Structure 1
Amino acid sequence: MTDPEKYAPSLGKVLIVGGCGFLGHHIVDLLVERHPQTRVFVLDLRTNSNRNSSSTVSYHDGDITDLDFLKMLFSELRPDAIIHTAATHFTAVTKEIMDKVNIGGTKNLLEAAKATGVKAFVYTSSASVILSPERELINADETFPLVTGKAQPEYYTTTKAYAETAVLEANQKDSNLLTCAIRPAGIFGEGDVQLLPPIMHAYFNRQTKFQIGNNDNLFDFTYVANVAHGHLLAAQALLHPYKMLPTAPLDSERVDGEAFFITNGQPVYFWDFARAIWHECGDRLPLSQVWHLSEGAAWAIGGLLEGVFFFLGRKPKLSRAQARYSTITKYHSIDKARKRLGYAPILSLDEGIRRGVQQLLSEWDQQKQKKSQ
């Protein structure tokens, strides 16, 4: 996947917060592969899954909302860099918990990092921090303003935006800590529990003959290894800010204090992505047999289902948010990441789909075999 000669063998000591999660464990794996002499620490609420067997990796259970614990751990480990991927689930918790973990936990990590001499801090933000109901995103770049509070319909996204702001404001403030934020869009791949599974379940439930809208909206999806790649480039750039430059970087060259969109650089029509996944699963339904449901009708049906399922204590398979996301245009420019981080996707969208789907199919097959024994 990577050419080890292009990268420093060691980044010193790197702490991956949320390193047992979906994105986090891919960052750990790529870090071990690409920088084999790096000492890797993983901090997560529970570290019993997605573990890397390398002797250079150690695991530590802990809660980022506990500042005293973080200061104690950081004093013991003395990391050079922190990559912070941890966050609450998108919808499964209350606003109070989102605030406590996504915003408060991030501020705790920053305070502990400053107190213990950490050099670099890379934060996993979200491409949706600039998305509003009133505006579609067409090759959107980092100059677009954050959308928060009442203007942002997804409270989770508001907390990610506030946390990103805290990270960027902490850059070289009261310490030598250098910070930046990575904004991935539509992450999918091996170990995915949010994007691939429901799309694949639609195939097995014979629901591929329906689509919302005319499929004329381009959308960004990003293979998880490319997101991990972007994080490691950012960490290396912060740890060695002048390595590639004869003088201090110009504003147009800086990485510290900056946010970067990371995508596959391959925006596709929304339903083409879903159909590529279904095709990998075995679907061969002709497009002529696909039924189109208008956006307005889908919105209305989603609202009705939300109300009914609320009283049943369950979640509907179609919601207003899903209707909206499947019909809006949302793709981003990665020019800034290309120029300042040297970023380019390391795997294509098609290859990412193939790997992600095949891994999940294999996992489901193993689960079926266990149940039948």
Structure 2
Amino acid sequence: MSSAPASVPSLGKVLVVGGCGFLGSHIVNLLVQRHPKTQISVVDLRTNLNRSSSPNVSYHEGDITDFAAVKSLFSQIRPDGIIHTASPHFNAKNEIHDKVNVDGTKNLLKAAQETGVKAFVYTSSASVILGPDIELVNADETWPLVTGKAQPEYYTTTKAYGETAVLQANRTPSNFLTCAIRPAGIFGEGDVQMLPKMIGALRKGQSKFQVGSNDNLFDFTYVGNVAHGHVLAMQALLHTHSILPTIPLDTEKVDGEAFFITNGQPVYFWDFARAVWHAGGDTLPLSGVWHLGQDVAFAIGGALEWIFWVLGKTPNLTRQQVKYSTMTKYHSIEKARKRLGYEPIVDLDEGVKRGVRYFVQQEEREKEKKGQ
């Protein structure tokens, strides 16, 4: 994408919570590129990573679980809009998920409501509707949240609770507008979960294995598209705010709503993995791939989990990974298309090339450091 022209209107002051993280830093860069007159502030626990060189971006270290600190920062910055992407790693302890995803989100909402913030966009998760025995086939936003005992992943339950708090806060007060973005399977430059594991498997010679029959369609979403969805949501909320007290038609409403954001290109799970491995230099023909039955892989994963638990480590194959790689999980983005004007800006093939290129370059830098 080319740089945005200077005539593009400012969004005022936008604060990106978690703006030094994987997704947050992409949102910051897109805001800089697309809205160069916007004043951007970033708050994160640590601000030494993924920093923008733009003079329009300021960085502030802070803990969202500390309400007094959050309120003080908001009073100082006076943001018009907040994009909240901060979240612990998927495998963090339950109490950390509670503290950040639920309590931290409520702190941000309360501080925003008390300091005159106009718009609040929350990064939720597409998995908030995913249960242990549910296949997601073109799932849309009418599907119910799956939480508590019905939700096997505690992280997902807390993301759902955070989303609920955000949407319930909409129009309280009447000029405070909120919405939630539900991305699915994010990958790309700076990815800390998906591509590192897949490229790690390639380097360990594990690309010759496949679990299941590879007939399960799955959503993978390039991080630039997720950032694009967040920026569109912020624009829409600020526009709605500018025409208050007018309330949009239900079919056009953005505030108080959740939106799935994906690439709109569901693919078979192992086709995506092989595309990543191919971009990383893998030349193994399909005839050389070993197929592990789902039940067999599940049993092996369970045994490895037990053995590695005794050793205090995590195995390369777990029951969760077996389930994840053999389930059908894709979503409809029609609501985002109609109400946000969303269309993916980077297709899946290009996203894979960009993401893998980044990690290969990282590997080369590491080799150079060791060679010095």
The structure-2 alpha-carbon separation of the partners of 1:118 and 1:242, relative to structure 1 and needing over 3 Å to count, comes to closer
CA contact under 8 A between 1:44 and 1:60: conserved in structure 2? yes
Spell out the pairing of 1:183-222 with structure 2 (5 A cutoff): 183-222=182-221
Residue 69 of structure 2 is matched in structure 1 by 69
Q: Secondary structure at the match of 1:176?
A: coil
Q: What amino acid sits opposite 1:18 in the alignment?
A: G
Q: Where does residue 282 of structure 2 map in the other structure? A: 283
Once the two structures are TM-superposed, the CA of residue 204 in structure 1 deviates from its matched residue by 1.4
Paired residue type of 1:270: F
Residue ranges of structure 1 left out of the alignment (5+ in a row): none
Deviates more, 1:348-357 or 1:198-207: 198-207
Deviation of 1:133 after TM superposition, in Å, equals 1.3
List alignment gaps of at least 5 residues for structure 2.
Answer: none
1:238 aligns with 2:237: yes
How far is the alpha carbon of 1:2 from its aligned partner? 5.4
> Which residue does 2:261 correspond to in 1?
262
The AA in structure 2 aligned to 1:37 is K
User: Is contact 2:211–2:325 with CA below 8 Å preserved after alignment?
Assistant: yes
Trace 1:155-166 onto structure 2 (pairs within 5 A): 155-166=154-165
Supply the distance in 2 between the matched residues of 1:257 and 1:241 (Cα, whole angstroms): 12
What are the Cα deviations for residues 155-212 of structure 1, in whole angstroms up to 9, with x where unaligned?
Answer: 0000000000000000012352100000000000001110001101111111111100
Residue 366 of structure 2: aligned partner: 367
Partner in structure 1 of residue 58 of structure 2 = 58
Q: 1:289 to 1:362 in 2, by over 3 A?
A: same
Residue 34 of structure 1 corresponds to 34
For 1:173-184, what aligned pairs fall within 5 Å after superposition? Answer: 173-184=172-183
Q: Which moved more, 1:313-322 or 1:199-208?
A: 199-208
Structure 2 SS opposite 1:370: helix
Q: Find out whether 1:330 has 2:318 as its counterpart.
A: no
**Contact (CA 8 Å) 1:126, 1:184: kept in 2 or not?**
yes
Contact preservation (8 Å) 1:7, 1:35: no
* CA apart distance, 1:6: 12
Give the counterpart letter for 1:74 in structure 2.
Answer: F
Of residues 105-114 and 277-286 in structure 1, the stretch that sits farther from structure 2 once superposed is 277-286
Alignment of 1:115-126 (within 5 A): 115-126=114-125
1:54-90 CA distance string (max 9 Å, x none): 1000000000000001111101100000000001110
Match of 2:105 in 1: 106
RMSD of aligned residue pairs (Cα, Å): 1.6
Q: Distance in 1 between matches of 2:131 and 2:95?
A: 22
Runs (4+) off by over 6 Å: 242-245
Conserved? CA contact 2:129–2:146, under 8 Å = yes
Tell me if structure 2 keeps the 8 A contact 1:219–1:329: yes
Offset of 1:8 from its aligned partner?
3.9
Task: State the one-letter code of the partner of 2:331.
Answer: H
Deviations 1:251-284 (A, max 9, x none): 1110000000000000000000000011111112
Matching residue's letter, 1:200: I
1:293-312 alignment, distance < 5 Å: 293-312=292-311
251-260 or 278-287, larger mean C-alpha shift = 278-287
Q: Following TM superposition, by how much is the alpha carbon of 1:242 offset from its aligned partner in structure 2, in angstroms?
A: 7.2
Structure 1 residue 4, shift from structure 2 partner: 3.1
Q: Percent identity, aligned pairs only?
A: 69
Distance 1:7 1:348 in 2: 28
Q: Secondary structure at the match of 1:76?
A: helix
Distance (Å, rounded) in 1 between the aligned partners of 2:306 and 2:13 = 50
Tell me if the contact between 1:178 and 1:238 (Cα under 8 Å) persists in the aligned partners: yes
